[in-house]
Amino acid sequence: MVVRKVGKYEIGRTIGEGTYAKVKFAQNTETGESVAMKVLDRSTIIKHKMVEQIKREISIMKLVRHPHVVRLHEVLASRTKIYIILEYITGGELFDKIVHHSRLSELEARKYFQQLIDGVEFCHSNRVYHRDLKTYFVQPENLLLDSQGYLKISDFGLSAHPPEGVSLLKTTCGTPNYVAPEVLNHKGYDGALADIWSCGVILYVLMAGCLPFDELDLATLYMPLSGFLRILQMLSFHVHLGSQSRIRMEEIRKDEWFNKGYTPVSLIEYEDLNLDDINAVFDDTEDLHDNEQQERDNEGPLVLNAFDLIMQSQGLNLQSLFDKGQDSVKHQTRFVSQKPPNLVLSSMEVVAQSMGFKTHIGNYKMRIEGLSADKTGRICVILEVFEVAPNFFLVDVQKAAGDLNEYLNFYKNFCDNLDDIIWKPPNELAMPRVNRGKNRKRP
């Protein structure tokens, strides 16, 4: 039997698989420690323009070293692969425990909630906002349990680490049943308060064994709040719809219910944050394109070349591809984004559901359907993400069923709510107007 090794790690079975990576069980041959090895293909990451996103996620995980956050050990690389070495979590998902017991006792729910707040508050102290905290009937879940039953927060793929001075986040993202109302207002939101809302939903799930908002239609998602608020008020724990009046971390810390049986966590010894290994992994471009000629997999968006763009445009006029104004929307309903395609899909899903539509995603396509704005008919819309150039993705939007005017109204409102996702050409690229007669002499 041939044992495969990467550095000091022996690689075993596959224990998980995502869109862009496989997770393998591995063992450190020097210490005997079991680890989870996330394996990414270099060329795939570069092809899908995800280098900066992966670098940001790794940097954030190195920054938030906390007992209730999955630990990142190191990052390795070969000519064709990137290996992210993570703490191996053996206790399964918190969701499994909820399902097994239908719901948790108040004592156990409080214990997990205390651990969740400990981890999230530490992230916030480092200006890291998770933005996708979730459990219960959501895959993949990002609340795990270790062998001792302690909570571990994972998956920082949608997290934000804004620079000093930036107080509001703009990107609409997250999981609909857990996303804070202000994230859908598209006026900017506080990342810490958005995470606190998600923590409130998770507390409800722990106590009740179900989601407080179980509608697929986000237009009615925030209507059945009375039961949600009633349970939290029974616990002397208050949550508010308005972000400005929402409970803060320091208030949670002082809450009588929260402090019952609470034991402060011992922090991991601080280490200097060194990103040299991350930059070295991605800056080395040797043999990155070995597999470029392989047949396209089904995991990434289709690539449109110049001929495809011309064929999809109005004759040879490409302006409509990059213009979401009212004139172009009459004939062309598409827009361009420089965001990673998975973030584009996540944002579109949240926005569509906030508008009252059901969604279904598969293979970089999205189907949106529901009642029209006047509630008199139904419309169905198909969206597909294409790669048109490095760091540029075209979202083609087409009416599958319904009234044309209602569809155009939907498209306008949909784009207005995706302001941070849609790319807008800089003014400098506009063609200058030429005054051909300026330097001519009068006859």
Sorted by sequence, the CB contacts under 8 Å of residue 206 that are 6+ apart come out as 98, 103, 104, 108, 109, 112, 113
The answer to whether 22 touches 16, Cβ cutoff 8 Å, is yes
The residue-averaged pLDDT of 144-152 equals 93
Of 26-30, 94-98, 262-266, 436-440, the range with the lowest mean pLDDT is 436-440
Domain with CATH 3.30.310.80 in the chain: 302-429
The residue-averaged pLDDT of 120-125 equals 96
Instruction: Annotate 12-31 with b (16+ C-beta within 10 A) or e (fewer).
Output: eeeeeeeebbebbbbbeeee
pLDDT over 80 at 363, yes or no = no
pLDDT over 90 at 132, yes or no = yes
pLDDT one-digit tens code per residue, 14-62: 887 776 788 999 999 999 999 999 999 888 888 888 888 888 889 999 9
Tell me the β-bridge partners of 389. 392
Q: Report angle CA 356, 215, 93 to the nearest 5 degrees.
A: 125
So what's the pLDDT on residue 233?
A: 54
| Positions at the binding site | 47
Q: How far apart are CA 9 and CA 212, in angstroms?
A: 43
Q: What one-character-per-residue DSSP string does 292-322 give?
A: TTSPP-SSSPEEP-HHHHHHHSBTTB-GGGG
Q: How far apart are CA 175 and CA 144, in angstroms?
A: 17
The residue-averaged pLDDT of 242-263 equals 88
Q: How far apart are CA 46 and CA 116, in angstroms?
A: 34
| Positions at the binding site for ATP | 47
Query: What are the counts of helices (DSSP H) followed by strands (DSSP E) for the chain?
Result: 13, 14
So what's the pLDDT on residue 105?
A: 92
How many other CB atoms are found less than 10 A from the CB of residue 370? 21
Of 50-64, 159-173, 244-258, 303-317, the range with the lowest mean pLDDT is 303-317
* Strand intervals (E) in 47-129: 72-77, 81-87
Domain with CATH 3.30.200.20 in the chain: 5-88
Please state the φ and ψ torsions of residue 22, each to the nearest 5 degrees: -110, 145
H helices of 163-255, in order, are 191-208, 225-234, 249-254
Q: If you search the block for the tokens 């062998």, which residue do you land on?
A: 147
So what's the pLDDT on residue 274?
A: 61
Dihedral of the alpha carbons of 122, 128, 129, 132, in degrees to the nearest 10: -90
Q: Among 237, 229, 146, 153, which Cα is nearest to 195's? A: 153
So what's the pLDDT on residue 253?
A: 92
Q: What one-character-per-residue DSSP string does 335-386 give?
A: EEE-S-HHHHHHHHHHHHHHTT-EEEEETTEEEEEEE-TTSSSEEEEEEEEE
Sorted by sequence, the CB contacts under 8 Å of residue 407 that are 6+ apart come out as 333, 379, 381, 399
Of 75-79, 202-206, 272-276, 285-289, the range with the lowest mean pLDDT is 285-289
pLDDT one-digit tens code per residue, 319-356: 444 444 444 344 468 899 988 888 898 899 999 988 88
Domain with CATH 1.10.510.10 in the chain: 94-160+168-259
The residue-averaged pLDDT of 279-303 equals 49
So what's the pLDDT on residue 271?
A: 57
The answer to whether 364 touches 355, Cβ cutoff 8 Å, is no
Split at pLDDT 50, 70, 90, the class of 131 is very high
Instruction: Annotate 33-68 with b (16+ C-beta within 10 A) or e (fewer).
Output: eebbbbbbbbbbbbbbbbbebbbbbbbbbbbbbbbb
Q: Report angle CA 249, 254, 259 to the nearest 5 degrees.
A: 105
For 302-429, the fitting CATH number among 3.10.520.10, 3.80.10.10, 3.30.310.80, 3.30.1360.170 is 3.30.310.80
Tokens read off for 172: 């609409």
- Higher per-residue pLDDT: 375 or 381: 381
Split at pLDDT 50, 70, 90, the class of 388 is confident
Split at pLDDT 50, 70, 90, the class of 314 is very low
| Domain formed by 5-88, architecture | 2-Layer Sandwich (3.30)
Tokens read off for 194: 């958005």
Instruction: Output the pTM of the full model.
Output: 0.66
How many other CB atoms are found less than 10 A from the CB of residue 127? 16
Which of 47-51, 118-122, 304-308 has maximum average pLDDT? 118-122
Split at pLDDT 50, 70, 90, the class of 288 is very low
Residue type, 286: E
List, by residue number, the catalytic residues.
Answer: 132
Tell me the β-bridge partners of 314. 317
The residue-averaged pLDDT of 355-360 equals 88
pLDDT over 70 at 85, yes or no = yes
So what's the pLDDT on residue 389?
A: 79
CATH of region 94-160+168-259: 1.10.510.10
So what's the pLDDT on residue 138?
A: 66
Tokens read off for 270: 């601080």
So what's the pLDDT on residue 243?
A: 66
pLDDT one-digit tens code per residue, 194-222: 999 999 999 999 988 888 866 554 555 55
pLDDT over 80 at 111, yes or no = yes
The answer to whether 172 touches 420, Cβ cutoff 8 Å, is yes
Split at pLDDT 50, 70, 90, the class of 392 is confident
pLDDT one-digit tens code per residue, 65-83: 999 999 999 998 888 889 9
Q: How far apart are CA 219 and CA 185, in angstroms?
A: 12
So what's the pLDDT on residue 441?
A: 43
Q: How far apart are CA 231 and CA 234, in angstroms?
A: 5
- Higher per-residue pLDDT: 314 or 273: 273
The answer to whether 147 touches 92, Cβ cutoff 8 Å, is no
So what's the pLDDT on residue 428?
A: 40
Percent of the chain with pLDDT over 90: 29
Q: How far apart are CA 175 and CA 346, in angstroms?
A: 8
So what's the pLDDT on residue 176?
A: 83
